[in-house]
Structure 1
């Protein structure tokens, strides 16, 4: 994600470090751990498999990782889930 192309998130240089060392660094692991944290509502949400608690950038870390678009996602998915399933079945069986 280009929103995290900042010095504070830099893992290193692939020309001087191995990819394994970069992605297993403490900084990388901490970033991933903070990204997968989810709000308690996500644990019981029927649309969790679709939004996967949303993008880290849209989570409010001061509100137990609540995604600011949660209600919008729920509204969209509830109105369009049958169409999304239909599209998925068309693609799956092609």
Structure 2
């Protein structure tokens, strides 16, 4: 069966002209994921201790570097745990 190929839908959220997304040698990305509540910039970075996934929140000005073990741990969490994390109010 031939089905017509569809153009991918790409969201281009209004992130403002002041946002500066980090780029540098030895990195992949960035990948920007956003909706009306949050936006994050994700990229793979090489550190002295190996490859990490960097998650950066331009709105909050915070970032975290996660290694493969931390990412693996996130992958087997129950949905309720993630819901609890979302219910917490982040520190200013």
Please classify the TM superposition score into its range, dividing by the shorter chain length: under 0.3
Name the structure where strand makes up a greater proportion of residues: 2
Name the structure where helix makes up a greater proportion of residues: 1
Question: Greater RCO between the two (CA within 8 Å, min separation 6)?
Answer: 1
